[in-house]
């Protein structure tokens, strides 16, 4: 089973700043089958990034993903008020398709 570790646990930033979230895998994620999701309170997760760097349909270009192997990053170039939420990474190489424990992005 691939274990994903996200850091930091909580990230406190101001609107307009750049946010950088990390996801590290316990073993290489083949074919970069790594996704990022955003979740707001009381809502289901929303797919942001797949294939490590491809934006899902309708996702603003301020969201970008990068990385390969075991180290991946989600970057939000200029934070908007609606971006403050929980973020999860997920590997979908093969079942069990594990998630990271999440990063809470909060307003400073």
Partner 1 sequence: EVQLVESVGGLVQPGGSLRLSCAASGFTFSDYAMSWVRQAPGKGLEWVSGISGNGQNTYYADSVKGRFTISRDNSKNTLFLQMNSLRAEDTAVYYCARNSGLVAYWGQGTLVTVSS
The residues binding partner 1 (CB under 8 A) are: 1, 33, 35, 37, 39, 44-45, 47, 50, 56-57, 88, 90, 92-102
CA 22, 84, 95, 34 torsion-angle sign: negative
Give min distance, CB of 97 to partner 1, in A: 5
81-95 burial, b if ≥16 CB within 10 A, otherwise e?
A: eebbbbbbbbbebee
Give min distance, CB of 98 to partner 1, in A: 6
Give min distance, CB of 75 to partner 1, in A: 20
């Amino acid at each position: 089973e691939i274990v994903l570790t996200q850091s930091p646990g909580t990230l406190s930033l101001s609107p307009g700043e750049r946010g950088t979230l990390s996801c590290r895998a316990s073993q290489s994620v083949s074919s970069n089958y790594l996704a990022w999701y955003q979740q707001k309170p009381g809502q289901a997760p929303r797919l942001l990034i797949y294939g490590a760097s491809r934006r899902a349909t309708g996702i603003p270009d301020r969201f970008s993903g990068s990385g390969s192997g075991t180290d991946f990053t989600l970057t939000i170039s200029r934070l908007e008020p609606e971006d403050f939420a929980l973020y999860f990474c997920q590997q979908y190489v093969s079942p069990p398709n594990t998630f990271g424990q999440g990063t809470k992005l909060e307003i400073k």
